[in-house]
């Protein structure tokens, strides 16, 4: 049989080049933005370790004082300035109070102030910055001049002046931090909203007749939520460190109440005879601030589309 007489069929040919069907197929399961961010955090060893440490600290702050046989203000004249032992894991202070319990009671105060102050600053800054970036005009100009004035005065001086006027206490600390703390988030969110307000999805919402408030809340803010979460995570350690400093100089939490700053101040006075009273709260302040910074860096890489690489 002559090869020229062979019937030509499609089976004799092999497709060479781009396979349109393969190109259009789904290469991996569809996942949400937040789930993908979580998967990226899990692969970042430093950020994931920081998350574990912070979770452990929060759980100990909640449950450790409840499960301990000592009260945070329980004094024992026969157990003053003891070092680490089976009865007192972190030792005791100058009045015989158990340092393990006082550390975690202080963690409740320090972490609560950090979370609450940073959250309030983020909400105020996001709302004001969103409207400033979207509306513009005189409102934007006045708000930016107010922020310039806030940045022109060292925030720590403002915090100290507010604490002198309001007096020591947890509520006063939060108010002092909120007065100046919202400016950074406001400027950041203003820039992001200004970048997004001319995008197609915003123009489409405007054409559909949505109000300015709904466009900002439903269209723009969800698109910068990942960056806002990262910014919030980075603001918490700053608030914790500021509380520790103000308490250390006597303007924050007042004894016998405990916070990490109060414990560090008490430990400084007895550093030569009982150095553990300073080293223990200093260790937890340092590791908490470092863990939040590492977690913030991981969240930035995981949630910011401009910094996320391709898989």
Using one digit for the tens of pLDDT, what is the confidence trace for 220-268? 877 787 778 878 888 888 888 888 888 888 888 877 778 888 888 888 8
The answer to whether residue 81 scores a pLDDT higher than 50 is yes
Please write the tens of the pLDDT for every residue from 261-299: 888 888 888 888 888 888 888 899 899 989 988 888 888
Q: What angle do CA 220, 221, 224 make, to 5 degrees?
A: 95
Nearest to 130 by CA among 185, 177, 179: 185
pLDDT band at 311 (very low <50, low <70, confident <90, very high): very low
Taking alpha carbons only, the member of 212, 201, 230 closest to residue 133 is 212
The yes-or-no verdict on residue 121 having pLDDT over 60 is yes
Handedness of CA 235, 236, 237, 241 (dihedral sign): positive
Q: Kindly report, residue by residue over 123-182, the tens digit of the pLDDT.
A: 898 888 888 888 888 888 998 899 888 888 888 888 888 888 888 888 888 888 888 888
Helices of type H across the chain: 20-24, 33-43, 45-67, 99-135, 137-152, 155-166, 170-196, 200-207, 212-214, 225-248, 260-269, 276-303
Contact 220, 286 (CB under 8 A): no
DSSP labels for 224-236?
A: GHHHHHHHHHHHH
Q: Output b/e per residue, 189-228; b: 16+ Cβ within 10 A.
A: bbebbbebbeeeebeebeeeebeeeebbeebbbebbebbb
Q: Which fold has domain 35-68+91-303?
A: MetI-like fold (1.10.3720)
Q: What letter would DSSP give residue 257?
A: S
Q: Who contacts 19 (Cβ-Cβ below 8 Å, separation ≥6)?
A: none
Burial (CB < 10 A; 0-12, 13-18, 19+), residue 110, is buried
pLDDT band at 310 (very low <50, low <70, confident <90, very high): very low
* C-alpha span between 307 and 298 (Å, rounded): 11
Q: What number is the average pLDDT over the span 70-97?
A: 80
**Per-residue confidence (pLDDT) for residue 59, from 0 to 100:** 93
Residue partners of 118: CB distance under 8 A and separation at least 6: 181, 232, 235, 236, 238, 239
Render pLDDT for 48-65 as a digit per residue (tens, 0 to 9).
898 999 999 999 999 988
Pick from 212, 225, 200, 235: nearest CA to 132: 212
Looking at the predicted structure, is the pLDDT value of residue 15 above 70?
no
Residues 193-207, mean pLDDT to the nearest whole number: 84
**Cα gap 92→97, rounded to integer Å:** 5
What are the backbone dihedrals phi and psi of residue 100, each rounded to the nearest 5 degrees, phi first? -60, -50
Please give the Cα distance from 278 to 241 (Å, whole number): 15
Reduced to 3 states (helix: H, G, I; strand: E, B; else coil), residue 191 is helix
């Amino acid at each position: 049989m002559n090869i020229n007489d062979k019937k030509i069929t499609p089976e004799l040919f092999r497709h060479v080049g781009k396979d349109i069907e393969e190109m259009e197929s789904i290469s991996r399961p569809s996942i949400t933005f937040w789930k993908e961010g979580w998967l990226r955090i899990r692969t970042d060893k430093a950020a994931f370790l920081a998350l574990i440490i912070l979770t452990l600290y929060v759980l100990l702050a909640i449950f450790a004082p409840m499960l301990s046989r000592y009260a945070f203000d329980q004094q024992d004249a026969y157990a003053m300035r003891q070092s680490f032992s089976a009865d007192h894991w972190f030792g005791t202070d100058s009045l015989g109070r158990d340092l393990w319990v006082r550390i975690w009671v202080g963690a409740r105060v320090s972490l609560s102030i950090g979370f609450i102050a940073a959250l309030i600053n983020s909400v105020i800054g996001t709302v004001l910055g969103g409207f400033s970036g979207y509306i513009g005009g005189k409102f934007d100009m006045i708000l930016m001049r107010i922020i310039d004035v806030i940045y022109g005065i060292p925030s720590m001086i403002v915090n100290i002046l507010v604490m002198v006027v309001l007096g020591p206490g947890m509520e006063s600390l939060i108010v002092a931090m909120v007065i100046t703390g919202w400016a950074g988030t406001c400027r950041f969110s203003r820039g992001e909203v200004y970048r997004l307000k001319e995008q197609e999805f915003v123009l489409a919402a405007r054409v559909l007749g949505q109000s300015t408030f709904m466009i900002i809340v439903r269209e723009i803010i969800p698109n910068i939520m990942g960056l806002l979460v990262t910014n919030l995570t980075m603001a918490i350690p700053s608030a914790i460190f500021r509380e520790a400093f103000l308490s250390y100089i006597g303007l924050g939490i007042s004894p016998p109440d405990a916070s990490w700053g109060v414990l560090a101040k008490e430990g400084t006075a007895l550093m030569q005879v009982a150095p553990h009273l300073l080293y223990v709260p200093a260790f937890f302040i340092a590791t908490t601030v470092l863990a939040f910074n590492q977690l913030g860096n991981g969240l930035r890489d995981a949630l910011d589309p401009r910094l996320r690489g391709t898989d």
